[in-house]
Structure 1
């Protein structure tokens, strides 16, 4: 386990609130220097300009030192941000950045390492120091890390520093052609049992079996359980796993079924899913349209009038 010591650094990046100023941190192999764009950009540009390093980042490789300086300055001035430049104690070389993202509801754990520093545990060491500082000295009760589902290295770091999966969502960065799946990892400063682990809408339908068949054909769903003969209730899971996003169908009189709207966020396969809905026999299928809130959506209705909106980042 890394030993972490803290002391006040004499020169602090001026844009940081004096009451929340970033402290100098030290671990067994690293110095975490409060990030100063004027002092550290040139060394960090080798990291931010590397396509391999930036593969999972929120923007493409940065083309110039000045562009890197602007990005670092903007990140550092967000409310609540605390960012550090990582320097190896052994040779005093700058190998990356770590810290807490600002301007978010829950502090966002972030890190980026030079390619030559991969595989030596530096990210885990730096993230451990940041989390300890966030809980011990900044008074935060939680930290989160949003990691792309294909980023195996960062997922491993999250697990090593005690973060566990809290949820998933679909995003698309402006420089990407397709949306991608993000895993939200989180850790609380004290034991934080979760009482709600799944949310499932309950939809009233006249014919549970027929509606289940329609949803399976339209959305590549599957039936997880049924109750009664004919079915009074059925569980529908949207995905290949034992549990996940889904809906519960319950039988009621057609005259008492109250129409509802259900939103379904998807990543890849949006166009294929639309074609699947068209071929399923669903009624009132609305064609895909780009919405002003940054989503591309289509919708269809169940016989009782329930509207299902399928959405993806555009």
Structure 2
């Protein structure tokens, strides 16, 4: 990958994978988002509490309204829709952290009923492609709570390298948590894509 300046990311939607359509979230997604983002078990290891319908509606109008990444400090959140059924089963996010360091981060949240089918891995792989091939990022990380073994398994299936285990580094939701940091470089992405 080159060290050329990063370009804005303006994807054509939906982004198709083998079984999913990744697309911007909209007002029609409130019920589906509420079905998993309101659950304590889903929110246990992620940096948000169970969400109300009102908060989801607010996010749809603000943070989740962006369908492009035009500069550092922004995030792109896309819904995971099962192509065969049209069901929204989760969402994935790409953060653009730094223009000068060409750094980003991914995250993913899935309805538990959709777990165990490889959907999170499939969606996250598509977002890594966006980050590396379309936006031109040099490095993408994933940070997660060590107890979130399903999320760690996704990062490993993606080919991300575990770089750190930060013991009790953050007081998170009333207790000390140990963070696992995974990463992938654009050169590693390109080598795996061959």
Report the TM range for the smaller structure's normalisation: 0.7 to 0.9
Which residue in the other structure is 1:13 paired with?
A: none
Please tell me whether the aligned partners of residues 23 and 34 of structure 1 are also in contact (alpha carbons under 8 angstroms): no
Alpha-carbon distance in 2 for matches of 1:82, 1:157: 19
Shift of 1:34: 2.1
Q: Which structure: greater helix fraction?
A: 2
User: In the TM superposition, what whole-angstrom CA distance separates every residue of 1:45-94 from its partner, at most 9, and x where no partner exists?
Assistant: 111001121111112211x2111233453366683312210000111100
Aligned residue for 1:52, secondary structure, equals helix
Alpha-carbon distance in 1 for matches of 2:149, 2:156: 11
Distance 1:86 1:156, change over 3 A: same
Alpha-carbon distance in 2 for matches of 1:113, 1:149: 18
Alpha-carbon distance in 2 for matches of 1:100, 1:53: 19
Which residue in the other structure is 2:89 paired with?
A: 95
Within-5 A mapping of 1:1-314: 19-24=8-13, 25-36=15-26, 38-62=27-51, 64-71=52-59, 73-74=62-63, 79-103=73-97, 106-169=103-166, 170-173=169-172, 176-191=173-188
User: In the TM superposition, what whole-angstrom CA distance separates every residue of 1:167-210 from its partner, at most 9, and x where no partner exists?
Assistant: 2331223xx11120111100011049xxxxxxxxxxxxxxxxxx
The answer for unaligned runs of 5 or more in structure 2 is: 1-7, 67-71, 190-194
Number of residue pairs matched by the alignment? 171
Please, what TM-score do these two structures have when normalized by structure 1? 0.50
Alpha-carbon distance in 1 for matches of 2:90, 2:177: 25
Aligned residue for 1:41, secondary structure, equals helix
Higher relative contact order (CA 8 A, sep 6+): 2
Please, what TM-score do these two structures have when normalized by structure 2? 0.79
Alpha-carbon distance in 1 for matches of 2:97, 2:171: 19
Alpha-carbon distance in 1 for matches of 2:123, 2:188: 23
Indicate the larger mover: 43-52 or 84-93.
43-52
Alpha-carbon distance in 2 for matches of 1:75, 1:186: 24
Aligned Cα RMSD in Å?
2.3
Please tell me whether the aligned partners of residues 33 and 85 of structure 1 are also in contact (alpha carbons under 8 angstroms): yes
